[in-house]
Amino acid sequence: MFRFIALTILAYFIFRWLDRFFGGAPAPRKRGSRPSSGTREKRSSVKKDVGEYVDYEEVKEDK
């Protein structure tokens, strides 16, 4: 029983080490560095002066 638990714990730590080694976790950021604005903001393919098209129907009210 002890052998099974020890091998399970050993396999767990080996798996964690391999996961970190092959890029499972993101790289730590340096202090003071800011991400560039191009990576943070996605640019839209629609121009800013173009409005959104809304399809609607007029309904007459009965009085």
Stretches where the chain sits below pLDDT 70 are 24-44, 46
What phi and psi, each to the nearest 5 degrees, are found at residue 20? -70, -40
Virtual CA dihedral for 19, 22, 25, 26, nearest 10 degrees? 180
Q: What is the pLDDT of residue 22?
A: 84
Q: What is the pLDDT of residue 55?
A: 82
Q: What is the pLDDT of residue 29?
A: 65
Q: What is the pLDDT of residue 10?
A: 97
Q: What is the pLDDT of residue 49?
A: 74
Q: CA-to-CA distance for 21 and 17, rounded, in angstroms?
A: 6
Furthest-apart CA pair in the chain: how many Å?
86
Which of 15, 33, 36 is CA-nearest to residue 25?
15
